[in-house]
């Protein structure tokens, strides 16, 4: 199967504005931002969607993604005012890239319900 665009970013085959990297997690700015701060937090492990996740196996990895989100939100100075974390899953969820990613959105008032 062909590599996703995010796998190519992990492999540094295509550039990205990386704001955080650890052994297991990578975070970079969304190329088409929907808020003043819009960062994608991804596991380096290839997991296509939320559907493939289970708490027992992936709990620690998800915890690392949340830790990264909190650290980045502080660095971006959006933590105190609040922010939104989003996983889109599958077709109806509006997922475009089939490598698991968590959107970190902030820097403006979010509306609800999401579109």
Which residues bind to ligand AMP, rule: CB under 6 A? 5, 16, 28, 30-32, 40, 88, 94-97
Q: Is 104 helix (H, G, I), strand (E, B) or coil?
A: strand
Q: To the nearest whole angstrom, how small is the minimum distance from the Cβ of residue 12 to ligand AMP?
A: 12
Dist CA 14 CA 70 (whole Å): 26
Active site residues: 101
Q: Nearest Cα to 44, choosing from 80, 74, 4, 90?
A: 4
Q: To the nearest whole angstrom, how small is the minimum distance from the Cβ of residue 1 to ligand AMP?
A: 17
Dist CA 81 CA 67 (whole Å): 18
- Using the minimum distance from each CB to ligand AMP, give the nearer residue, 79 or 95: 95
- Using the minimum distance from each CB to ligand AMP, give the nearer residue, 63 or 93: 93
Q: Nearest Cα to 102, choosing from 60, 63, 56, 75?
A: 63
- Using the minimum distance from each CB to ligand AMP, give the nearer residue, 8 or 58: 8
């Amino acid at each position: 199967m062909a590599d996703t665009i995010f796998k190519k970013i992990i492999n540094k085959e295509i550039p990205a504005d990386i704001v955080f990297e650890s052994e297991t997690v990578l975070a970079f700015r969304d190329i088409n931002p929907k808020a003043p701060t819009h960062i994608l937090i991804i596991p380096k492990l290839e997991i296509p969607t939320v559907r493939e996740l289970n708490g027992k196996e992936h709990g620690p990895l998800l915890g690392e993604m949340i830790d990264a989100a909190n650290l980045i939100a502080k660095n971006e100075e959006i933590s105190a005012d609040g922010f939104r974390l989003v996983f889109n899953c599958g077709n109806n969820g509006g997922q475009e890239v089939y490598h698991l990613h968590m959107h970190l959105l902030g820097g403006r008032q979010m509306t609800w319900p999401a579109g």
